[in-house]
Each structure stands twice: as C-alpha cells, then as structure tokens.
C-alpha cells in the first residue's frame, strides 16, 4: 500500500516511503470512505480561538516571530506547565515553539544526536520517530509493547539500552495504543535514565485526552527528571487545530538550546498570528474546559468501542488519545494491510494498519487495526453502519 519514494530521495529517508497517514487519507478520498485513519477532527476547535487568530491576523502580527517562540506564547506555555504539572520553566530560555510537535521531535533529535547515538523508544511508535532518528544519523532501538495491555516490560526495556544510548523517547498518552503510562512504569524507566545519565524526550500531545480514572503523569515530574527531560506538546490535539502546527517544548536551557539550534535553520519560526491565538487558548484552558473535552471524547470512544465489539473485534480500550487499537482476527483472516485495504474498498471505512509502526517485531501488529474517534457523532454513526456489514466477510 505504501508507495515508494522516488529514487532521488537519500538513503536515510528512502526506506520510509510515504507516510501511512497520507496514504490512507488518499484511499479514503478515492473510495469516498468514512475516514477514521489519520487522526484529525472533522469538527472545528473553539470559535474564541479562531477569533483570536483573526484578530492577530488583522492586528498586524504578520511578520516573523521571535525564532524560539513569540513572547506571549512562551509565557503561556510556561504558565500552563506550572499550573498543570507544578513544573517551573523560564519562558525565555526553557521554552521553545515549533511547527507542531512533529517539528519539535525532529529539531530535538537533529540538535542533540551525534552520528551513531542510539535512541530507545517503544513500538508501536509514531512513524516520525524512526525517520527523524535516521535523518539525525542516529540508531533506533525500539522496544515492543504487546496487545492487549501494552504493559512495559522493564527488563526488555533495559535490554535495549547500550553504551551508545543517548536519548529515551517516550510518548504518553500513547499513539496508537491509547495506553497511558502509569506512574510505576514511568518511575522504572526514569530510574534507568538517571542511572545512565540519559536524556528523555517525552511526546505528550495527548496530555489532556485521558479517560475513566486514568491520570496523565509527565516523566518530567518525577524526582531528578526535570533536568534531563524535554517535554513536548502542541495545540493540535487539545484544541482540535491539527492544521495549525503549533507545538512547543519545555526543558532545561541546554536541551532547549539544542533543539532551537536546529529549529532556527529548519523553519526559523512558527506562524506568528497562530502563536498569539494559541497563547490565548492556553490561558483560557481551565479545569472545566478540560473536563468537558474529556467527557466529550470519552463518549465518542465508548460508542466506537461498543460498535467494534458488537462486530467481533477484540478491543484494547484506550485510556487516552483518540485512537482505538483492535484485533480483527475474528472478522478477517489476512494481515493488517489486507484488512485495511478490504475495509476501505468494500466497506468504505478507512483505518490505519499498524504493522508499519513496528520494527523490532512487525508480527506484533499484523492482526491489529487503528481507528480514530476524533470525529462528529454522525461520522461515527456512519462508520458504525458500514462496519456492521463486516459480518461474514472473512
């Protein structure tokens, strides 16, 4: 399904082809499918935030912003970190703004790694991780999490650490599993990072999207971790503006400076008026707004989980993010790619085949499929109607 990159692409990037997100959204459009593949909302974020962007556009905020982040946004990011996590950062030296968390990941790895440095992360992984490690001429060491609970096996994790390990790249709440790393897991990982003096990059873009009694803990909150951790997040998921591409990092000044060293040459700065609008959004994001957001996504999750179970999927109920990973073994006998193709062509529902998110053990993902539930209730209803047609296909 993945189309291969043209031959002019260099050796570092050639193996990655076209991302599965572009590929599945293209197929969704081709087959007029309900698109539960790429994780983007099909509804608008808060109108007040759009108004703030329009005001900034009309108010003459249209030239380059400060490269490391507009003063209004770095202040709002630092203030949010203090309010939500009790973590204090100096807005001017310990916060950086990027073109989405994806650029923050790239800039951090490009700015930190020497050729041959190893980066350990869990798989299934977000697909930019191996590509950015390769761009930075680093070496990826993925550690496999397994369906259905995706529990951290600390011994397996430790076995991935070597003398060349420089960075541990975490993602919690975790895409695509919906796992929320618990405090004990993070403490186990943190102890190994402290003992080996490793840098931690933690991708927390789904920080506010947790359900039931799950609690999002940032590894940066654990003892001895703030000083070695770059904590990344963005506006895309929390405020439903994935197309704005406004992300940020907080961390000790030397780590921020490393990411900034790359950022200044990658993009120089992030869209100035959107930075102002996101500063406004973060300032207004109080506990009531957060609770409403969660309740809303949790209803969508429950609907999708119930639908998938009724059709015969075995579901790992996500405690965070807006994705569900399900085992389709009872409804389809082929692998995940053949199932995703069948689903989009014959049932007109697009989903993500996750074996592309594994490198150490691709078989671990071959009977799984990922659905996104960041969609309007009517979109999820339409998907449910089509999914119910799956019975008897295999």
Burial track 182-204 (b if 16+ CB lie within 10 A, e otherwise): beebbebbbebbbeeebbbbbbb
Closest approach of ligand GLN to the CB of residue 100, in Å: 9
Closest approach of ligand GLN to the CB of residue 34, in Å: 15
Phi/psi at 140 (nearest 5 deg)? -90, 140
Q: Which is nearer to ligand GLN, 38 or 172 (CB)?
A: 38
Q: Which is nearer to ligand GLN, 39 or 320 (CB)?
A: 39
Q: Which is nearer to ligand GLN, 19 or 221 (CB)?
A: 19
Closest approach of ligand GLN to the CB of residue 243, in Å: 11
Nearest-CB residue to ligand GLN? 39
Q: Which is nearer to ligand GLN, 38 or 229 (CB)?
A: 38
Closest approach of ligand GLN to the CB of residue 237, in Å: 8
Closest approach of ligand GLN to the CB of residue 158, in Å: 28
Please answer whether residues 118 and 91 qualify as being in contact, where contact means their C-beta atoms are separated by less than 8 angstroms.
Answer: no
Phi/psi at 185 (nearest 5 deg)? -60, -45
Nearest to 270 by CA among 49, 110, 57, 65: 65
Nearest to 367 by CA among 323, 324, 334, 318: 334
Q: How many residues bind ligand GLN (CB under 6 A)?
A: 5
- Per rule CB under 6 A, is residue 175 in the interface with ligand GLN? yes
Please answer whether residues 207 and 77 qualify as being in contact, where contact means their C-beta atoms are separated by less than 8 angstroms.
Answer: no
| Subset of residues 36 to 95 that bind ligand GLN, contact rule: CB under 6 A | 38-39
Q: What's 252's DSSP letter?
A: -
The distance of Cα 27 from the centroid of its chain, to the nearest Å, equals 22
Please answer whether residues 259 and 112 qualify as being in contact, where contact means their C-beta atoms are separated by less than 8 angstroms.
Answer: yes
CA distance 338 to 6: 24
CA distance 2 to 292: 38
- Per rule CB under 6 A, is residue 354 in the interface with ligand GLN? no
Q: Which is nearer to ligand GLN, 142 or 188 (CB)?
A: 142
Q: Which is nearer to ligand GLN, 131 or 262 (CB)?
A: 131
Q: Which is nearer to ligand GLN, 38 or 165 (CB)?
A: 38
The pattern of x and - marking residues 276 through 305 that bind ligand GLN according to CB under 6 A reads ------------------------------
The distance of Cα 55 from the centroid of its chain, to the nearest Å, equals 29
| Subset of residues 23 to 42 that bind ligand GLN, contact rule: CB under 6 A | 38-39
Report helix, strand or coil for 232: strand
Residue whose token pair is 């001895």: 224
- Per rule CB under 6 A, is residue 124 in the interface with ligand GLN? no
Q: Which is nearer to ligand GLN, 49 or 325 (CB)?
A: 325
Closest approach of ligand GLN to the CB of residue 67, in Å: 24
Closest approach of ligand GLN to the CB of residue 382, in Å: 19
Out of 14, 21, 156, 381, the only residue in the binding site for ligand GLN (CB under 6 A) is: 21
Which residues have CB under 8 Å from 10's CB, separation 6+?
none
Alpha carbon of 286 to those of 46, 102, 283, 294, 337: distances in Å?
Answer: 14, 26, 8, 13, 41
Phi/psi at 33 (nearest 5 deg)? -95, 160
- Per rule CB under 6 A, is residue 150 in the interface with ligand GLN? no
Closest approach of ligand GLN to the CB of residue 116, in Å: 27
Please give the residue ranges that form the binding site for ligand GLN (CB under 6 A).
19, 21, 38-39, 175
């Amino acid at each position: 399904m993945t189309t291969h990159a043209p031959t002019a692409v260099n050796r570092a990037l050639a193996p990655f082809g076209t991302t599965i997100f572009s590929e599945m959204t293209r197929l969704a459009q081709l087959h007029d499918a309900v698109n539960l593949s790429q994780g983007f909302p099909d509804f608008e974020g808060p109108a007040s935030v759009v108004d703030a962007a329009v005001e900034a556009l009309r108010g003459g905020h249209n030239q380059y912003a400060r490269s490391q982040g507009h003063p209004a946004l770095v202040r709002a990011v630092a203030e949010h970190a203090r309010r939500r996590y009790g973590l204090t950062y100096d807005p001017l030296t310990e916060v950086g703004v990027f073109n989405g968390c994806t650029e923050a990941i790239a800039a951090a790895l490009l700015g930190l790694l020497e050729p041959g440095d190893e980066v350990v992360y869990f798989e299934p992984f977000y697909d930019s991780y191996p590509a950015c490690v390769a761009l930075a001429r680093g070496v990826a060491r993925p550690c496999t999490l397994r369906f259905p609970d995706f529990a951290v096996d600390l011994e397996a994790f430790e076995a991935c650490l070597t003398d060349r390990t420089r960075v541990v790249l975490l993602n919690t709440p975790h895409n695509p599993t919906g796992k929320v790393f618990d405090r004990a897991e993070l403490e186990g990982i943190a102890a190994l990072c402290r003992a080996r003096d490793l840098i931690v990059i933690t991708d927390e873009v789904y920080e506010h999207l947790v359900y039931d009694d799950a609690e999002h803990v940032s590894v940066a909150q654990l003892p001895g971790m703030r000083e070695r951790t770059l904590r990344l997040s963005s506006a895309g998921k929390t405020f439903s503006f994935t197309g704005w591409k406004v992300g940020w990092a907080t961390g000790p000044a030397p780590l921020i400076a490393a990411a900034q060293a790359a950022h200044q040459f990658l993009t120089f700065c992030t869209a100035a008026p959107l930075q102002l609008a996101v500063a406004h959004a973060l300032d207004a994001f109080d506990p009531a707004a957060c609770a409403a957001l969660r309740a809303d996504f949790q209803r969508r999750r429950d609907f999708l989980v119930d639908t998938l179970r009724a059709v015969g999927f075995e579901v790992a109920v996500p405690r965070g993010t807006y994705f569900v990973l399900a085992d389709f073994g009872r409804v389809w006998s082929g692998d995940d790619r053949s199932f995703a193709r069948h689903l989009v062509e014959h049932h007109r529902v697009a989903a993500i085949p996750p074996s592309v998110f594994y490198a150490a053990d691709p078989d671990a993902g071959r009977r799984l499929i990922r659905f996104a539930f960041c969609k309007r209730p009517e979109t999820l209803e339409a998907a449910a109607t089509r999914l119910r047609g799956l019975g008897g296909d295999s």
